[in-house]
Amino acid sequence: MSTHVVVVGSGIAGLTVALHAVEDGCRVTLVTKDVLEHANTRYAQGGIAGVMFDDDRVDDHVHDTLVAGAGLSDAEAVRVLAQEGPARIRELIDLGVAFDRGDDGGFVKGLEAAHSYPRILHSGGDATGTAIEKALVARLRASRVDVIEHAFLVDLVVDGGRVRGVELLVGDREATAASPAVAGRREVVAADAVVLATGGAGELYAHSTNPAVATGDGIAAALRAGADVRDLEFFQFHPTVLAVGDSFLVSEAVRGEGAALLDEDGRRFAFDAHPDGELAPRDVVARAIAHRMDLQDGRPVLLDATQLHSDDPGERAAFLARRFPTIDRAVRDRGLDWAREPIPVTPAAHYLMGGVTTDLFGRTTLPGLYAVGEVARTGVHGANRLASNSLLEGAVFGARAGDAIARDAASGAWPAAASAVVAAPAVDPADDGPSFSRPALQELLWEHAGLVRDETGLGHAASVLARWRAQSREPHTELEFENENLLMVAEHLVAAARVRPESVGAHFRRDDPVATAPVRQEALAC
């Protein structure tokens, strides 16, 4: 009988692992909490990084990734990413992803922050994630993979120290939308191996680029099952999200084309923080923007694309619409004309670098459990993700995990990654404060565990979270399960931030005397 694999999640990582596992002879069931196409991948604008040009080098991609990771990346994982990335990109091309090409037929090169070479490929200008998602979904639907949509991961099934399936809540969101008196059905799916590809936890924060499905479900399930989780303190905040209307990410590729960040006096302030200015690592640019907003009494900074391509506003408008069609549409829907005037932007939570600890083949510390994509902590990103490495990571490690499952099943060993235990500070629940709600949780983390942290704020957040956890009731609906998952992940994120007193990468402590020395305070503190 063939090995049965359950993949939870339908972004680039989940779809890739499912396709590789089924090609290797496994029986695969893919479950997703929404429709198959609704995953973080479809929102990825900037592109996918890879050494696809003769004058680029794998060593340079490795170097750029390690530098962005602030010294905390796993060098072996980064080497795997850069070396195997081109093959995975060619696999996407074979699946039908049409990366943009110039008049000469060659791929258009894109430059993003902290890259030493313009190695970013994009599709449809700024619709790379959508193009990749569509191609992978089309191949999956044509494959032997079984699909269960609107299926929420309640928990992992663990027996004898090994993961042996998943418990699902199927159809709950649809059912309750139709009638509050109707609930979804609980269902257990047995499996020889389970792959978490559930994405991140952007719903932890009041301002986020993530879709509403990003509620940390896979991380919470792994924690409850006893799997090792690391580096949750490293949450990347994207510097440029539209500050008008609902949150909408303005890709780093816009700054890669030459757009500038301006304060309300029209000054390019990003160079105060880093010699690379607007193309410095994301954590630096995001904090510089937040600091400037503080000096401006909360008013957003401006992203100026009025100098791009042409002095003629009409030609410039045509260029922006062609190069960034998705962003251009969103900007104009908000009544803004970015070909003629700078647009207001602000930072927002974007990408979780930590997650369920894995080895180089997606194996977690629990036999039979694998993790890929944003839910996983592969070691690639360290303290700060290099731009456009996320899609690449999903493709590279998704393929590795899909191929490894078949080998592990054949061996019967079901090996696991090594674990690491970090002791969290003791927490006394707060005596009073607001009652739990998702908006209250999001504001708490945005204020005290966001772009800038300190022990006073983190300690307060830990106490409030402990009180909310003590008051929580057994969940029954998908929304209640999501809230419980967010609360659990929030507790572990805050605890991880408290045990790392130094500032590094996306984790910035205002109470770190080195990080807030006078020479850097104006540039980096908020």
CATH topology of domain 241-348: Flavocytochrome C3; Chain A, domain 1 (3.90.700)
Distance CA 270, CA 278 (A): 6
Distance CA 195, CA 18 (A): 9
- 339-371 in b/e form (b: 16+ CB < 10 A) is beebbbbbbbbbbbbbbbbbbbbbbbbbbbbbb
| Alpha-carbon distances, residue 424 vs 36, 43, 113, 314, 453 (angstroms) | 37, 34, 34, 57, 16
pLDDT digit string (tens) for the chain, length 526 residues:
589 999 999 999 999 999 999 999 999 999 999 998 877 787 777 799 999 999 999 999 999 999 999 999 999 999 999 999 999 999 999 999 999 999 999 999 998 888 999 999 999 888 899 999 999 999 999 999 999 999 999 999 999 999 999 999 999 876 655 555 567 899 999 999 999 999 999 999 999 999 889 999 999 999 999 999 999 999 999 999 999 998 899 988 899 899 999 999 999 999 999 999 998 888 889 999 999 999 999 999 999 999 998 888 899 999 999 999 999 999 999 999 999 999 999 999 999 999 999 999 999 999 999 999 999 999 999 999 998 999 999 999 999 999 999 999 888 878 888 777 666 778 888 888 889 999 999 999 999 999 999 999 999 999 999 999 999 899 999 999 999 999 999 999 999 999 999 999 999 999 997 765 433 333 332 2
Torsion of CA 174, 178, 182, 185, to 10 degrees: -20
SS3 294: helix
Query: How buried is 455 (Cβ within 10 angstroms: 0-12 exposed, 13-18 middle, 19+ buried)?
Result: middle
Torsion of CA 487, 488, 489, 490, to 10 degrees: 50
Which residues, 6+ apart, have CB-to-CB distance to 65 below 8 Å?
73, 78, 81, 82, 380, 386, 389
Q: Any catalytic annotation for residue 282?
A: yes
* CATH class name, domain 438-519: mainly alpha
Helix H segments across 334-477? 390-411, 438-448, 455-471
Q: Which pTM does this prediction carry?
A: 0.92
Which residues, 6+ apart, have CB-to-CB distance to 250 below 8 Å?
240, 241, 242, 303, 327, 331, 343, 345
| Alpha-carbon distances, residue 190 vs 166, 167, 411 (angstroms) | 7, 9, 20
The pair of structure tokens assigned to 463 is 């106490």
CB atoms within 10 A of CB 441: 23
pLDDT at position 156? 98
Distance CA 193, CA 110 (A): 38
Torsion of CA 404, 410, 413, 414, to 10 degrees: 40
- Provide the 8-state DSSP code for 209: S
For the chain, the distance separating the N- and C-terminal CA atoms, rounded to the nearest angstrom, is: 59
Q: Out of 119, 282, 287, 363, which one is annotated catalytic?
A: 282
SS3 374: helix
Domain residue spans of the chain: 241-348, 438-519
Which residues, 6+ apart, have CB-to-CB distance to 125 below 8 Å?
100, 322, 323, 324, 325, 326
**Which element (helix H / strand E) includes 91?**
helix 75-94
